[in-house]
Structure 1
């Protein structure tokens, strides 16, 4: 069972920092002006040491910031994230699991999950995510899905917690195979993380909404950084049997 006290936690410091960085990077003026200042400052101050190093580094950051927003760059980055995700071959499952990612992504995921349920791919739909779980279930009810086929948790703040908290609710019910619904860039990390806690996962990508190039670039950046972080912590490979039976929840980020 999931400890409901986990739902009352304040956002982690990492999530708050991540949100602040995203807000900053999505405002070009707040990025470009400081970088231009760093480029020209060494040449304005007469005794500034390592002028070429400081100016060159700031110039590289400025070029990287703009080039990362080119449609071709984001398309290639997205291709790298989805290339290793297996196709959904239509197998049945024990449950459909929807991962929350905010209001902008919600409607498309609800439609995808409702279609999967109506196609009798699984008898249960489970929504996971703080600020999303309850809202997704409400929208699924509006789509005509009966309450008896819906469950949710609204405590998880990260992809790892999505997996852990979902496992703590569904695995005691005998759920082993799931159809995982999330957007294409997020799918690879989600697939590996849910396998890590013992699920057999069928990935089913949900279309991403129309986003600005800056937002797309941010998504790609976070996903690649997330893969590196989770990989270093060993959270992208299946756990042993003992750990699968007792998913650890408290203290995970």
Structure 2
């Protein structure tokens, strides 16, 4: 139930879901002949949609998360690389093979770190949500992808039970204890890294952040044309804003539950 509610409730806090709720309220007020009062939720809807879809706003919120763990210099070696799921879609018809999502950089970067000899083993962490059709766990999908990159299956430790970030950490720690792994490189999206590190630290795991999948870059200088376009509403910017809000909501909920 917690998993279902954790997916459902935030939808009504994200810009699009909140705007829909406000519009429903506006329609109710209009139906009750209170048109003047309905202007309040209508105005709020406009402001939420406009600002959440602005590049200026989305960049500010996203960068406040992504830039917390920028890698300085070369990453040190560790006993293993922990890769968090959320990067693949199962090979269900009509897909010819496993599909890599935007977060698929996690798998690619983990493979690079292994080939750079940063760690001799990889812990691939990720199950599948029950109500979504799938043929394999995310951990298995990542293992198949890494094999195509030349990583031997013998170097992989699969954790296929986790359904959220905390479970990623808890079940990965169980494997670490069994395999006597002390220090790990933690690979996940830069946007997801702050929440992940809070959880890993709370559990006492010696994790070195190795973020990837950045959606913002340092020193990005805009031209006049780009500046004009950045002020206009854009659906992709709203998606970025929503992803960042998801992380902040997740951090708040995990702190309230004592998980971070």
Q: State TM-score, norm by structure 1.
A: 0.75
Counterpart check, 1:87 vs 2:71: yes
- CA displacement at 1:233 relative to structure 2: 2.2
SS at match of 1:97: strand
Check the 8 A contact 1:106/1:136 in 2, yes or no. no
Aligned residue in 2 for 1:219: 243
Aligned residue in 2 for 1:101: 86
Matches within 5 A, 1:196-235: 196-208=202-214, 212-235=236-259
- CA displacement at 1:58 relative to structure 2: 4.8
Aligned residue in 2 for 1:72: 56
Question: Residue 42 of structure 1: which of 23, 29, 32 is its match?
Answer: 29
Counterpart check, 1:116 vs 2:101: no
- CA displacement at 1:227 relative to structure 2: 1.0
Question: Residue 14 of structure 1: which of 5, 8, 13 is its match?
Answer: 5
- CA displacement at 1:82 relative to structure 2: 2.8
Q: Taking CA–CA contacts closer than 8 Å with sequence separation of 6 or more, which of the two structures ends up with the larger relative contact order?
A: 2
Which stretches in structure 2 are left out of the alignment for 5+ residues? 89-100, 129-137, 217-234
The more displaced of 173-182 and 155-164 is 173-182
- CA displacement at 1:140 relative to structure 2: 0.6
Q: For the residues of structure 2 that align with 1:84 and 1:32, how far apart are their CA atoms?
A: 30
Counterpart check, 1:139 vs 2:136: no
Q: For the residues of structure 2 that align with 1:156 and 1:62, how far apart are their CA atoms?
A: 38
> 1:5-25: CA deviations, max 9, x gaps?
xxxxx9932255259x38x96
Q: 1:58 to 1:169 in 2, by over 3 A?
A: farther
- CA displacement at 1:43 relative to structure 2: 4.8
SS at match of 1:12: helix
- CA displacement at 1:161 relative to structure 2: 0.5
Check the 8 A contact 1:110/1:136 in 2, yes or no. yes
Check the 8 A contact 1:181/1:206 in 2, yes or no. yes
- CA displacement at 1:213 relative to structure 2: 2.4
SS at match of 1:87: coil
> 1:139-177: CA deviations, max 9, x gaps?
111111111111111211110000001111122222121
Q: State TM-score, norm by structure 2.
A: 0.73
Counterpart check, 1:181 vs 2:166: no
Check the 8 A contact 2:188/2:211 in 1, yes or no. yes
Q: For the residues of structure 1 that align with 2:7 and 2:62, how far apart are their CA atoms?
A: 25
Aligned residue in 2 for 1:164: 170
Q: For the residues of structure 2 that align with 1:233 and 1:34, how far apart are their CA atoms?
A: 27
Check the 8 A contact 2:106/2:187 in 1, yes or no. yes
